[in-house]
Structure formats: structure tokens, C-alpha cells
Amino acid sequence: MTLKKGSFLVLLLVLLIGVCSPKPSGCPPPPKGFSETDLVGSWNALDVVKDSWIIIRADGRYKQTIQVPRTGFSYESDWKPWRLTYSEKGLPYLHLEGLALCAYWYDFDCSTNTGPRHGDPLFTVGGTRDLFADETFWYDFCQKDWVDTPGEGVFLVLGVPLPFSQPPRGISLVPFTKSDLPTGPSYELR
């Protein structure tokens, strides 16, 4: 009887620890020692818009370029401000003021400035107008939350789990999107 009671208590303790332990966010943090200087350089989109670049300087300015050979679309921004914030769990977020959104959500057609709703204009360069309203909510799939991000694009700065990819500095930039999945292009340092 004592053995059964002791086994039950151990099992109950294991279950309580499993239920009460903080759950991982599912988003790998950057390697230890990450700092703002790890963002400095030229970042290239890996999918959706392969000729999209974000050039980040140490002085707090960035430039965005987009080339879409299929449509002939070409865009280059001025130098604009960027900043870094952190979530409660310590994940870094890169904020890019005035990002052209067609570069990281596939329903934006850069060449015509339209989308799936009968040619309605979706954005102005640097704008973040919602597809279906005048709201600027984008999905943070690490925090599983819709976040109001007026006037900027926001990227998660994530560690890259091996063996899928080994980019320089071990990080990639993944944008908030209009979906509850990471559907926009991720960027890696080149």
C-alpha cells in the first residue's frame, strides 16, 4: 500500500511540474551574446521576394530595396530609422519605420499596388494600412498575438535551429504577417 501511495505521489508531482513549467515559445532565441551590432549588414529575403534587401547600419538607419524582375517593379527607400525592443521572454524585435510592406506579405502586388479585393489599393510605400480596415495589426507568431504596429514593419530576430540553415551570426529576421503563420519571407545576412 505504501509503495502504491508513494508511486502515485511521484506521478502526481511529475504531472504538476509538467503543467506548471513555463512552455517554450517555439521561437528559438538568438545565440548567447547577441547585440545590436549583430544586425549590422545586408539581409536578403529567402523566399517570396528573393530580390528584397534590408541594409542595416550601426548608426540606427536602414535602407530597403526590392527588385521584381517578373513585373519590372523596382524600389529603393531612403535611409530610415530602426530600433530594437525585447519581449517579456527576451526575444529581440527589430522595428523598421516606413517599411514597404509588399516585400513581406505575398498578397501585396508591388507592381500594381493591389491585392485580392478587386484592385483596391493596399498600401502606400511605408504605410501599414490593414487589408480589410484602417487598422495596423500584424501577427506575432512567437507570442501568438495580434500586435498594433503603426508605421513600421516588425521582425522577430530568431536563432536558426540546426541543421536547417547556418547563416552568419546564427540569426534570421522573420516578419510579423497578416496570417497566424510565418508566411512572409525570412531574411538572412549575406
Give a yes or no: residue 62 inside a domain: yes
Can you give the pLDDT at residue 38? Answer: 95
**Which residue type sits at 146?**
W
Print the domain residue range for 100: 25-189
Distance (Å, whole) CA 96 – CA 60: 10
Least Cα distance to 154 among 77, 54, 73 occurs for 54
Give a yes or no: residue 11 inside a domain: no
| Tens digit of each residue's pLDDT (9 = 90 or more) over 116-125 | 544 554 444 4
Ranges of residues in the chain whose predicted pLDDT is under 50: 1, 3, 8-24, 117-118, 121-126, 128, 132
Give a yes or no: residue 9 inside a domain: no
| Tens digit of each residue's pLDDT (9 = 90 or more) over 141-171 | 888 888 887 778 899 999 986 555 677 788 9
Distance (Å, whole) CA 127 – CA 151: 6
Give a yes or no: residue 6 inside a domain: no
**Which residue type sits at 15?**
L
**Which residue type sits at 49?**
V
Instruction: Please give the tally of structural domains in the chain.
Output: 1
Q: Copy the grid coordinates of residue 51.
A: 530580390
pTM for the model: 0.72
Beta strand 187-189 with 73-76: parallel, antiparallel or unpaired?
unpaired
Give a yes or no: residue 18 inside a domain: no
For the beta carbon of residue 110, count every other beta carbon within 10 angstroms: 21
Residues 6+ apart with CB under 8 A from 167: 160, 188, 189
